[in-house]
């Protein structure tokens, strides 16, 4: 029916309506609505247009102070008027995404217990064993479709931040709504507080989490088993996004639950899809193809190892034989180059380990170490990806060594927040005289060099995970195979084809997030149906997906 005939039935009145963030319109309540719903005298007499209200909110945002205070302003706005919050976020997405998510959210996580204002989401602690379903049933969301869950141990590149990690789940879900249009009432942030090994937090008298060392081993996984089982009962249609789990648990959680409930790990699979798309986009800029590349991942935690696996799958799809993948994709961890046969390798590191024969004849470092310097000198990579959280790891000597064997290197310092990036784009472009194709994990400004403006594409997981979630829930998928993330990567790549202009970015700007998320959702949904991971939908997939995408606009209210 025509838009002007749409309306919402509302039973709340007066102060209760004004205090409901899902229904509150603030100064945009019409005079008729104020009369009908007992709001007369509770608001200033002037009625604002949507544009006037948004301009006022944006002005207040700009005057809020530093980035943390701007975050707090937006959080307060979200708590009192969700429609205005999401309108403002969409109108200024490139400016505000770094505030509601990385890098500012990292500062918020660190200060969480000191700047805490109002609760959002559900907290399940190690003290709630046996009552998880009861706690979940207390959530205001009754038809939840997307859950972002974290145990707080590997927050961005900052480590164990205890219960402060909840800000990560909240920020990710804000991007689900802004990017994919999933209604906020269908989204649930979930903090799994199993303790913290951060001594500073345990000593902090204001710390809001459980004051104990982290659960490990069977105790830890038995609690997660209860949580997953309870989520399946309380929210049977929900997708779970595992977020910022430490490497020691991330891969185990992914394999343990991915076929028991609809779930994925964003650090492993979402980042992998973003990186593969960025590598392919960079290769199109320099006129090379992925099957001939030599790729090095510096950092083999959940994100680094997941990206290495995704790159190997992409090379396999491009025709590289399985037995030769180890000669195309190398990974380093804190002990240096990962080689098969090293004692104590985890399952995921065994999968990405190189054959020791590869290093036969290499000149090794002190003590026989094979670090980044040796790998770049001997392996001669064409693509270098940082997922280490080690700022400055890609120094001038490393970059110039790479440049000697590859005139157009692709370098992706992806660690975030910004302070953890392995190199700055400005340095990379200056050291290579503009020859390097650069993408980052955190936002960086354009770089001027040699009369060319280099736009720095941000490999933000928001380009992937909202569309993946939307596509999966739109077709009621049962699980998410790896092929769904290859499909997401292909969809993203369609937005990053090179323009032929020097300095063009390898990722689209976040202002295109809605159209990117729709395209990703369509490709993911089609792939899931084709693979039998979701039932055959009734009607066109595109129509189903569009029908789920909420726009933050005020509709007329009528009494229930």
Q: Do 193 and 210 contact (CB within 8 A), yes or no?
A: yes
DSSP 363: P
**Mean pLDDT confidence for 472-491:** 96
Pairing state between β 239-242 and 336-337: unpaired
Q: CA nearest 208: which of 247, 175, 162?
A: 162
**Mean pLDDT confidence for 367-381:** 95
In the prediction, which pLDDT does 248 show?
A: 85
Q: Which tens digit of pLDDT belongs to each residue from 416-436?
A: 888 999 999 999 999 999 999
For a pLDDT cut of 70, what percent of the chain falls above it? 98
Active site residues: 101, 172
| pLDDT band, residue 204 (cuts 50/70/90) | very high
**CA atoms lying within 13 Å on the CB side of residue 145:** 22
| DSSP states along 474-499 | HTT-S---HHHHHHHHHHHHTT----
Ranges of beta strands (E only) in 387-518 are 410-413, 437-440, 447-449, 452-454, 457-458
Q: Which of 12-16, 141-145, 454-458, 501-505 has the lowest mean pLDDT?
A: 501-505
159: CB partners within 8 A, 6+ apart: 153, 198
In the prediction, which pLDDT does 102 show?
A: 87
Using CA of residue 232, residue 233, residue 236, residue 238, what is the dihedral sign?
negative
In the prediction, which pLDDT does 3 show?
A: 36
| pLDDT band, residue 498 (cuts 50/70/90) | low
Q: Three-state SS string across 218-275, please? A: HHHHHHHHHHHHHHHHHCCCCEEEECCCCHHHHHHHHHHHCCCCCEEEHHHHHHHHHH
H/E segment holding residue 190: strand 187-193
Mean pLDDT computed over every residue of the chain: 95
Domains by residue range for the chain, with CATH? 49-261 (3.40.50.10380), 269-461 (3.40.50.720), 463-501+511-548 (no CATH)
Residue 501 pLDDT greater than 90, yes or no: no
In the prediction, which pLDDT does 4 show?
A: 41
CA dist., res. 123 & res. 466, Å (int): 23
């Amino acid at each position: 029916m025509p838009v002007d005939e749409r309306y919402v039935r509302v039973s709340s009145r007066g102060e209760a309506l004004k205090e409901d963030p899902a229904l509150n319109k603030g100064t945009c309540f019409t005079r008729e609505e104020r009369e009908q719903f007992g709001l007369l005298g509770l608001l200033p007499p002037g009625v604002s247009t949507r544009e006037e209200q948004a301009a006022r909110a944006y002005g207040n945002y700009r005057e809020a102070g530093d980035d943390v205070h701007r975050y707090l302003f937006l959080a307060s706005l979200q708590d009192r008027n969700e429609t205005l919050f999401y309108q403002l976020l969409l109108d200024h997405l490139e400016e505000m995404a770094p505030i509601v998510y990385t890098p500012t959210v990292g500062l918020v996580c660190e200060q969480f217990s000191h700047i805490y204002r109002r609760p959002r989401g559900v907290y399940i602690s190690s003290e709630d064993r046996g009552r998880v379903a009861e706690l979940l049933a207390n959530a205001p969301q009754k038809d939840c479709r997307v859950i972002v869950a974290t145990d707080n141990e590997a927050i961005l590149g900052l480590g164990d931040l205890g219960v402060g990690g909840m800000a990560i789940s909240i920020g990710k879900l804000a991007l689900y709504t802004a990017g994919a249009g999933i209604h906020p009432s269908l989204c649930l942030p979930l903090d799994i507080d199993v303790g913290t090994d951060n001594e500073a937090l345990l000593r902090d008298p204001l710390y809001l989490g459980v004051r104990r060392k982290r659960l490990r081993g069977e105790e830890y996984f038995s609690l997660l088993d209860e949580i997953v089982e309870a989520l399946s009962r309380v929210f049977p249609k929900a997708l779970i996004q595992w977020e910022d789990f430490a490497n020691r648990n991330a891969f185990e959680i992914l394999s343990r639950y991915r076929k028991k409930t609809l779930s994925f790990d964003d650090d492993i699979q979402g980042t992998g899809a973003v990186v593969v798309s960025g590598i392919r986009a960079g290769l199109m800029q320099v006129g090379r193809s992925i099957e001939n590349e030599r790729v090095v991942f510096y950092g083999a935690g959940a994100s680094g190892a997941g990206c290495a696996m995704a790159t190997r799958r992409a090379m396999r799809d491009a025709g590289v034989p399985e037995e030769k993948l180890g000669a195309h994709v190398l990974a380093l961890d804190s002990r240096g180059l990962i080689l098969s046969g090293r004692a104590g390798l985890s399952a995921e590191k065994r999968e990405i380990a190189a054959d020791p024969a590869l290093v036969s004849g290499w000149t090794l470092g002190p003590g026989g170490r094979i670090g980044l310097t040796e790998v770049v000198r001997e392996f001669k990579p064409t693509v270098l990806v940082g997922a280490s959280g080690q700022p400055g790891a890609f120094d001038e000597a490393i970059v110039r060594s790479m440049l000697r064997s590859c005139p157009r290197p692709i370098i992706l310092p992806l660690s975030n927040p910004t302070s953890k990036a392995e190199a700055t784009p400005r340095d990379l472009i200056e050291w290579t005289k503009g020859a390097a194709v650069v993408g980052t994990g955190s936002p960086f400004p354009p770089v001027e060099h040699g009369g060319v403006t280099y736009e720095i594409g941000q490999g933000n997981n928001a380009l992937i995970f909202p569309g993946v979630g939307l596509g999966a829930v739109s077709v009621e998928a049962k699980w998410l195979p790896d092929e769904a993330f290859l499909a997401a990567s292909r969809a993203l790549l369609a937005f990053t084809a090179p323009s032929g202009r020097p300095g063009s970015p390898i990722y689209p700007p976040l202002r295109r997030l809605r159209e990117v998320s729709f395209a990703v959702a369509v490709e993911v949904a089609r792939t899931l149906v084709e693979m039998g991971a979701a039932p055959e939908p009734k009607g066109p997939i595109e129509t189903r997906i569009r029908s789920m995408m909420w726009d933050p606009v005020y509709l007329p209210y009528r009494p229930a």
